[in-house]
Structure 1
Amino acid sequence: MLATGDLIINVALTGMIPTKQDNPHVPITEAEIIQDAIRCANAGASIFHIHARDSEGNPTPDPQVYARIIEGIRAECPEVILCVTTSGRNWHRFEQRAAVLDLDGKAKPDMASLTLSSLNFYQSPSINSPGMIMQLAEKMLEKQIQPELEVFDPGMINAAQYLLNKEYIKPPLYFNIILGSIYFTQANARDLAYLVDQLPAGSTWAAGGIGSCQLPVNTLAIVMGGQVRTGLEDNLWFDCEQHSPGTNEKYVRRLRELATILGRKIITPSEARKRVLGNSQPPA
């Protein structure tokens, strides 16, 4: 499939690793994350992948921190899709990873990340046992929170198909394909095309790259008719030479300009909700 249809921009705002020392624009506090999301929404982003930090700037699974962030973003941008992490990089107990899934009302997340196997990042592993994956998927299904299915290599797509067959997950399916680290699938057109070809029929997919791979992978996704994931979680620099620190808003605006050049219109948050979640109404 070549460039066609409206484009969804998904922004991974903060992540677990980046600090102000790495890039002064990384949003760390609740207020910074909220304001950064609002700026990116105004620039054209529809989905926000959220990691929370505590008062010391360290990653936290505290659901109340997530609740304040979600409510703060929704107060200004009620239709955007808000996705929370259930990452296995820092926490290994189900109760820690799943705590955010119990939020309800206006603080209820629309989506939650579900990494489909264990893997290594540059600094640390993300541990995701089959049992943990199924527990998290069951909890998301129970709470009517859609999984953001995270794929780093082909075996993870096999895992997603297994979960689909066993009804741990149900359509519509949304996949993030992340490429470019030394420990998982590399950032090239051949491998991205192969991964996309293996996805369950009817899936919505977005692609992003680590570090300097981010813009090339985003460009491939736009040309191939997919969606894009961008953000400071994955890439700290606006330029490949690492002279100019990036900002989430600048990444979104650059993708909007690139999409226009390549014939893709940016989708509205309401339209994104219908496509990704199957409904247009945010939690009440």
Structure 2
Amino acid sequence: MSRKVILTCALTGAGDTTGKSEHVPVTPEQIAADAIAAARAGASVVHVHVRDVATGQGSRDVELYREVVRLVGASDVDPVINLTAGMGGDLVIDPSDPTAQLPGTDLVSGLERLPHVEQLLPEICTIDCGSLNFGEGSQIYVSTPDMLREGAARIKELGVKPEMEIFDTGQLWFANVMVAEGLIAPPPLYQLCMGIPYGAPASPGLLNAMVHLLPEGAQWTSFAIGRDQLRWVAQSVLLGGHVRVGLEDNLYLRKGVKATNAQLVEEAGKIIDSLGDAVATPDEARDILQLDRKAGAA
């Protein structure tokens, strides 16, 4: 029997990718246009970051989020909107003086990462479930247990579904603790993020082990970055999960060919179909995740 697979498109992210591909959207109009195109190509969910229009760098500006949500809402498509709430956790330290913060630091409390969620009430928002050495150098992503519990409680009050982003096995452990403590409304939604230095490697065996640590009744999705992105669609589907593609995580359709978000969605849809399953419509995704349709009505 065919299973419905939720297909998320992560549109732009916050990484330094705007100079690497002309297809990476920057302005609210470009991000919304990509969200609409991805939905028309079959995306069930669109995952939204916003960028400073002048610099192209990631932003926490509520008005930028508001404009993206408005434009998508005024279109002829109705994807589930998933707003990142991960911005505001970046700490860049001076290795010779770890008490000194260097340019690139954007570090605020857990609640200060949520104003756009509080005002716009998306159906889903992300919550990054732990701290991480983020690549080479001296950048750390900071998300402590106290921050996470406080943020999760507020997200639950708002009636928004948290997508718990898991970058390593210890983060999965703590996400399970939050579920056990009742901070996450059922069904819990996990995003298993693979291949980000230095988190969980993009190893099929590790993905399988992480899936076996999920609590009964959980919904989960997974992605891998770069060249592993499209092959990871199959990895996730074969283990019973949902999938994510998009320019946040990968810029190429194949070697030497730069992708658009809509093209990546189309390719993911073909893979899902070839495995005998079907991409969930936005409303089917809402049913699977038990989303509150009052969200997004702000």
Is the shorter-chain TM-score for this pair beyond 0.5, marking a shared fold?
yes
2:233–2:271 Cα contact (<8 Å) kept: no
Which residue, 78, 88, 109 being the options, matches 2:122? 109
Q: Residue 218 and residue 125 in structure 1: after superposition, are their counterparts in 2 closer, same or farther (change >3 A)?
A: farther
Give the distance between the partners of 2:113 and 2:170, measured in 1 at CA.
23
Query: Which structure: greater strand fraction?
Result: 2
Which residue, 40, 44, 47 being the options, matches 1:46? 44
1:41–1:77 Cα contact (<8 Å) kept: no
Is it true that 1:30 corresponds to 2:28 in the alignment?
Answer: yes
* 1:198 counterpart SS class: coil
Q: Residue 100 and residue 278 in structure 1: after superposition, are their counterparts in 2 closer, same or farther (change >3 A)?
A: closer
User: What amino acid is aligned across from residue 9 of structure 2 in structure 1?
Assistant: V
Give the distance between the partners of 2:59 and 2:10, measured in 1 at CA.
16
1:157-202 C-alpha deviation (Å, 9 max, x unpaired): 2111211122221211111111113412121221111111101111
Give the distance between the partners of 2:118 and 2:156, measured in 1 at CA.
12
Number of the residue aligned with 1:253: 266
Q: What is the TM-score normalised by the length of structure 1?
A: 0.92
Which residue, 146, 149, 152 being the options, matches 2:164? 149
2:236–2:243 Cα contact (<8 Å) kept: yes
* 1:220 counterpart SS class: helix
CA RMSD of aligned residues (A): 1.8
Shift, 1:78, TM fit:
5.7
Give the distance between the partners of 1:49 and 1:70, measured in 2 at CA.
11
Alignment of 1:160-175 (within 5 A): 160-175=175-190
* 1:201 counterpart SS class: coil
Give the distance between the partners of 2:115 and 2:295, measured in 1 at CA.
20
1:50–1:83 Cα contact (<8 Å) kept: yes
Identity %: 30
2:245–2:264 Cα contact (<8 Å) kept: yes
Q: Residue 77 and residue 171 in structure 1: after superposition, are their counterparts in 2 closer, same or farther (change >3 A)?
A: farther
1:222-270 C-alpha deviation (Å, 9 max, x unpaired): 222211011111111222x3x1112111110001111111101111101
1:237–1:244 Cα contact (<8 Å) kept: yes
Alignment of 1:1-284 (within 5 A): 4-56=2-54, 57-77=56-76, 79-87=78-86, 88-89=89-90, 91-94=106-109, 95-103=111-119, 107-122=120-135, 124-239=139-254, 241=255, 243-279=256-292, 283-284=296-297
Give the distance between the partners of 1:120 and 1:42, measured in 2 at CA.
37
1:101–1:139 Cα contact (<8 Å) kept: no
Give the distance between the partners of 1:19 and 1:187, measured in 2 at CA.
21
Q: Residue 197 and residue 6 in structure 1: after superposition, are their counterparts in 2 closer, same or farther (change >3 A)?
A: same
Number of the residue aligned with 2:96: none
Q: What is the TM-score normalised by the length of structure 2?
A: 0.87
User: What amino acid is aligned across from residue 117 of structure 2 in structure 1?
Assistant: L
Q: Residue 158 and residue 4 in structure 1: after superposition, are their counterparts in 2 closer, same or farther (change >3 A)?
A: farther
The 10-residue stretch of structure 1 (26-35 or 157-166) with the greater mean CA deviation from structure 2:
157-166
Q: Residue 181 and residue 53 in structure 1: after superposition, are their counterparts in 2 closer, same or farther (change >3 A)?
A: closer
Give the distance between the partners of 1:122 and 1:193, measured in 2 at CA.
24
Residues matched between the structures, number: 277
Give the distance between the partners of 1:98 and 1:15, measured in 2 at CA.
17
Shift, 1:282, TM fit:
5.5
Give the distance between the partners of 1:283 and 1:101, measured in 2 at CA.
10
Q: Residue 255 and residue 32 in structure 1: after superposition, are their counterparts in 2 closer, same or farther (change >3 A)?
A: same
2:82–2:125 Cα contact (<8 Å) kept: yes
User: What amino acid is aligned across from residue 102 of structure 1 in structure 2?
Assistant: E
